[in-house]
Homo-oligomer: A and B are copies of this chain.
Amino acid sequence: MLKGIDPILGPGLLAVLREMGHGDEIAIVDANYPAASAGPLLVRMEGHDATRVLDAILSVMPLDEFVPDPAIRMEVVGEPDRLEPVMREFDAVLATHEPDVVVASLERFAFYDRVADAYAIVSTGERRLYGNIILKKGIIRPEAG
């Protein structure tokens, strides 16, 4: 483990998050998601639910301020406006790290298409349906000198 870094961020995920640059995307997906076949680099975190992984990732990764939708969840099939408990928990986690971000949403197959272009995908042990969210990485500005 390392000082000041969430212990659930293992060597592989830490490296992936550090490798990502401005605009690269990472998806956090639930246990039903077709993660291994999705295409992007796969990190397995089946010991944690998606909201816990979201919290860990946002503790070190800034979201993109240059776009209106740096966080995107999957919509309920046939009920795009329905908010499941896991979605409300995503919102609560976002609020603690990125209070200005409003989570956008995509229909199921549009979400799959978007994830296919992501840099990485984190497969979690999340059992709640629709526990899927895409994050777009932002920037760290130079320290004021």
Residue of B nearest to A16 (CB): B11
Q: How far is the CA of A12 from the CA of B16 in the complex (A)?
A: 9
A10 in contact with B5 (CB, 8 Å): no
Report the Cα distance A59→B5, complex, angstroms.
11
**Total number of A residues with any Cβ neighbor in B under 8 Å:** 22
Asked if A4 CB lies within 8 Å of chain B CBs, one says yes
CB-based nearest B residue for A3:
B60
Q: Does A144 contact B (CB under 8 A)?
A: no
Q: Mark A1-16, 1 if CB is under 8 A from B, else 0.
A: 1111101011110111
A interface residue numbers (CB < 8 A to B): 1-5, 7, 9-12, 14-19, 59-62, 139-140
